[in-house]
Amino acid sequence: MGLEIRQEQGTAFVDVQDEMTIYTAALQWEQLQPLLAQVKAVDMNLSAVSEMDSAGIQLLLALKQASDRLHNRFVLTAPAPCVEDLLQLLRLRSVLMPAEEAETDG
Amino acid sequence: MDDLTQTFIQESEELLTQMEDALLALEDEPGDEEQINSLFRAMHTIKGAAGIFGFDPVVDFTHPVETVLDQVRSGGRALDDELAGLLLQCKDHTAALVEQITGVGEIEATLLADGYTLLEQLTGQVQAPAVAADAAQEGVVEQEPVGPPHWLITLKFHPDALRNGIDPVSFIRYLGNLGDVVDLILHHDQLPGSDAFDPESCYLGFDIIFHSDASKQEIQAVFEFAEDDCDIRILPPAEIECAFEQMMDELPDDHTQRLGEMLLAVGAITEHELTGSLQQQTEQATAEAEAPVLPVGHILVEQKAVSRELVDKALDKQQKAKQKASHEASLIRVDSAKLGRLINLVGELVISNAAVKLRVEEQGLGELSELVAASEHLVEEIRDNALQLRMVQIGDTFSRFRRVVRDVSRDMEKEIELVITGGDTELDKTVVEKITDPLTHLVRNSLDHGIEMPQERLRAGKPAKGTLSLNAYHDSGHIVIQIRDDGAGLDATRIRAKAEAIGLVKPDQVLTDKEIYQLIFAPGLSTKDKASNLSGRGVGMDVVRRNIDALRGIIDIDSEPGTGTTVTIHLPLTLAIIDGFMVSARGERYIIPLSMVEECVEMEATAWQVDEDRRYVNLRGEVMPYLSLAEFLQIPHCHDDHRRESLVIVRIGHHKAGFVVDTLHGELQTVIKPLGRIFSGFRGISGSTVLGSGEVALILDVQGLIQAATAQMQLH
Amino acid sequence: MTDKTVQHALHGGQFLTFVSGDELFAVDIMQVNEIIEISALTRVPKTPDFIRGVINLRGGVVPVIDLTAKLGNGLSDLTKRSCVVLVSIERNDVQQILGLLVDEVREIIDITDDHVKPPPSFGDQADTRFIQAMAQVDQLFIILLDVSRILEQHEIEQAGAIAEQLSDSVPQAAHSNH
């Protein structure tokens, strides 16, 4: 339930086992935000996200922005179909998954 | 006539002039959207204004014209030569309608009939939409002419939106049922830093390009539930352009750039608009730019694969349009009579200040002299500024000849290009008004007599297309206007023959070619055997001369057989107040416009080679005629004759002469007063002014005196 | 204006009388603007004698005509009593002010139709076209002036003089005559 977080060599691996919506956003932010200052990178696995709405997307954007400010790496991996769908609709792949975007392009 | 009607007339005139300019510019550069828009705007605005005044005939005529122009604008109809010609006629017709309706209040039946004929020609035939193909060849990106329109939907959600159960994404998804979300930008720049971030607040905004046949209401309905929690803006295609400009101020750089490209890609705005707008934005942003800002043009060249020239051209053009727009925005319309009164008052101020100065000097009030000097300085500045108010660029006058050149070329089947330079040279509006007619005569003369028929030109080894250039520049207090053609040049033999025939010169009189050329300004001399409807009626050139004389100007003509003719006009910049230089001869005081004074030297036969018989002086190797003011002006002798004389060297253009005077009084501000018509025939005095003492002093007609001096020298 | 003046004069009215040389003149007071003291006259070169020059009238420049000289009787002397009668004339809808240099201003009198006589002959040497009529009031002969024609006469002469002057100084064709 919720987030599974483990840290390895300065990287936080986050497994989201839940929806990412307005109902979960506050809690998830509470868990993730303090983490950012402790690590050099965040790797979020989104394969198990069951539902995502605007609040979820906004949370990802906020995390990305905070990481950028700290010069941390922020990587999203294996987006579930509902996440993928939203990234597509909102043209956010290039913003939130630039590395992968580059790979598919190149 | 009331002020409003007056304004209507004035604005119509300006708009129609713009329309004509645009039509002519489009001949050089077909497909120029800026110009096409300007055509449309002219008709649209006149129609609207005429509607307000209830000038129905004007509305009835301009409406169909506007419709046609709208078709042109949207690419539905090609603006070919024929249509351009018709539109020019429509412009003339509209001017005639405006004149009659504001003048006599109704339209003559014949004029109405002309209007119907014109409209029939204009709308009667359907033209093939060739414009897109033409434009593509030129490399200009046109708006997409077909398919459902692209809407621009801008959403800005309020912070409480999420908490209120609004999910922005769901609306966007739903939008997909009505049409196609072509592109979208999610704005997350409002996201605060992580400490301030509230995950349940909404910080998001969206720009959506939406491709749909749906009506605005239908699109609006999608967002019905979000209305309280969201700022919604739905722009139909036509309004996107203006909105884009506005959005630039609101949005950060990268977003506008991205939005711009997006809009460009779907044809909602043109490249032209994008480059110009982004350029503007970049300029604003450079101050705070942390990241390197890529030139917009550069981006476009890479991404849109357009040529650099085109981008540069677009930028350049946009820049010009922008300048013009901002220039116009800061203008106030002022009745020129008001300016005239102001300038008269400044003239009085100059004179009364001179009177104060004189009294202060006479009474020896030393402590006041500084104050007087200060106020004199201020008055000078006020004078210059007041005169500046009436200064206008000559370019507008020059541009009017585009139409003349075009019409004449077509009528006479000549090929003529008009080249205008120095259009930004300024001169007094009162001078401009008086120079238009003479210029028209000169231009028509060049077109008619000067430039040959194409075959003739080819035979002479010249390009078939003739060139008429109009040029203007400032030279020592004068404006110089040149009308130059590369035509056949003047035929000195024929002019001479004509002049002898009408008794203007004696058969044994020796004249240089240049002197013979000057003869064409004599009354009754016209060399073209066949009179055309343009010129050659034997009136014209003498009228030109008289007009230029009246402006205290000088006109010169140079010609090279086979190569062309150049007419050069020197005119004073203003007819109101000038800097003068006061001299006296035998106790009488005269004023010479300071701008024409080259230098003053002592008149010494030992220092300069003065030839009293042949009336010339050799000044440091330069030979020039001179005359004694006292003698020439027949000033009666007085007791203090035989003082040390000075020589004032004056110059207009390349004409120079020396005036012998007794005393040099120095500079003074001179308010030019007309001397009255009864003295108008006399060359030697051009006007008068009132001195501080209240006395009248006469202003010398330098041009007339130089000519007289030159003639004296030649005669001996 | 000219027509009106003629009618006006022939039907009588109020006139300002003044002396110039040995003659008594009168001008319809409707045409008189004001009478001013003689101020500094500026000579205009190459004009006929009877144009005494120009004066500054509140910033405007006004030509001054010497009536005595105009009648061929030499220049009038400037005395304490000399003054300038300013008259306005209208030609081709342009209003112009003209100064008449006179030796002495007399009075305003009523002249009726009965007083008016046809103009006399002044001999060949003088222009008399600006003399509209004569009037006889209390044994005095008064010359009624048509001020609008003083200028007209002058303009013709001026044009002639200029044409002459130009023809002997400069190649003719370089100038246009007005």
Separation of alpha carbons B226 and B205, rounded Å: 13
pLDDT bucket at B322, cuts 50 / 70 / 90: low
Among chain B residues, CA nearest to A32: B194
Q: Which chains touch B (3 or more CB pairs under 8 A)?
A: A, C
Tell me the mean pLDDT in the region B602-608: 74
Q: Do chains A and C touch (3 or more CB pairs under 8 A)?
A: no
Confidence of residue B287 (pLDDT cuts 50, 70, 90): very low
C38: closest chain B residue by CA: B695
Please say if the pLDDT value at position B444 is more than 80: yes
Per-residue DSSP letters for B161-180?
A: TTTTT--HHHHHHHHTTTSE
Give the best residue of C38, C44, C152 to mutate against chain B (max B CB count within 10 A): C44
**Inter-residue contact B215 to B234 (CB < 8 Å):** no
- Whether residues A53 and B199 touch (CB distance < 8 A) is answered with no
The whole-number average pLDDT for the span C36-48 is: 84
Question: pLDDT band at A52, cuts 50/70/90?
Answer: very high
- pLDDT per residue as tens digits for the range C63-84: 898 888 887 778 888 888 889 9
Check pLDDT > 70 for residue C121: no
Phi, psi at B132, each rounded to 5° = -65, -45
Query: What share of chain B in percent tops pLDDT 90?
Result: 6
Residue C2 CA to residue B311 CA, distance in Å, equals: 71
**B19-33, B99-113, C6-20, C75-89: segment of lowest average pLDDT:** C6-20
Chain B residue closest to A70 (CA)?
B194
Q: Spell out the CATH class of B393-572.
A: alpha beta
Question: Between C2-10 and C147-167, two packed helices, what is the crossing angle to 10 degrees?
Answer: 140
- What is the pTM assigned to this prediction? 0.51
Residue of A58, A59, A64, A89 to mutate when probing chain B, most B C-beta within 10 A = A58
Any alpha helices (H) in B555-640, and if so which ranges? 629-632
Q: What amino acid is encoded at A89 in this protein?
A: L
Banded pLDDT at C10 (limits 50, 70, 90): low
* Number of helical H runs and strand E runs in chain B: 23, 22
Q: Do A62 and B169 touch (CB under 8 A)?
A: no
Kindly list the domain boundaries of chain A, sorted by start residue: 2-105
Mean pLDDT value of segment A4-20: 88
Q: Are strands B577-585 and C60-66 parallel, antiparallel or unpaired?
A: unpaired
Q: Which residues of B touch A56 (CB under 8 A)?
A: none
- The third-level CATH classification (topology) of the domain covering A2-105 is Transcription Regulator spoIIAA (3.30.750)
Q: Model confidence over C158-174: pLDDT tens digits? A: 543 443 343 333 333 33
The length of chain C in residues reads 178
For chain C, the three-class secondary structure string (H helix, E strand, C coil) is CHHHHHHHHHCCEEEEEEEECCEEEEEEHHHEEEEEECCCCECCCCCCCCEEEEEEECCEEEEEEEHHHHCCCCCCCCCCCCEEEEEEEEECCEEEEEEEEECEEEEEEEECHHHEECCCCCCCCCCCCCEEEEEEECCEEEEEECHHHHHHHHHHHHHHHHHHHHHCCCCHHHCCCC
Q: Are C176 and B521 inside 8 Å of each other by CB?
A: yes
Q: In this predicted model, what pLDDT tens digit does every residue of B524-557 receive, in sequence order?
A: 665 544 444 444 444 567 778 878 877 878 888 9
Considering only CB atoms, B518 lies closest to which of C162, C173, C178, namely: C173
Mean pLDDT in residue range B482-501: 88
The pLDDT confidence band at residue B304, using thresholds 50, 70 and 90, is: very low
What residue numbers bound the domain in which C94 lies? 2-174
Vertex B322, ends B320 and B326: CA angle to 5°?
120
Q: Are strands A41-45 and A11-17 parallel, antiparallel or unpaired?
A: parallel
Report how many Cβ contacts below 8 Å link chain A to chain B: 72
Number of domains in chain C: 1
CATH code: domain B3-138 is 1.20.120.160
Shortest Cα–Cα distance, A19 to chain B (Å): 14
Contact B306, B327 (CB under 8 A): no
- Is CATH 2.40.50.180 what the domain over B577-715 is classified as, yes or no? yes
- Interface residues of B toward A, Cβ cutoff 8 Å, are 162-163, 167-170, 172-173, 181, 183-186, 188, 191, 193-194, 197, 199-200, 202-204
Chains B and A touch (3+ CB pairs under 8 A): yes
ipTM for the complex?
0.90
Least confident range of A74-88, B157-171, C163-177: C163-177
pLDDT at B131 exceeding the cut of 50:
no
CA distance B95 to B101: 10
State the pLDDT at residue C86. Answer: 92
Chain B environment of A29 (Cβ under 8 Å): 197, 199
* Among candidates C54, C166, C173 on the partner chain, residue whose Cβ is nearest the Cβ of B504: C173
CATH number at residue C64: 2.40.50.180
Fold of B150-329: Alpha-Beta Plaits (3.30.70)
Q: Across the interface, do A29 and B197 touch by the CB < 8 Å criterion? A: yes
pLDDT of B472 reads 93
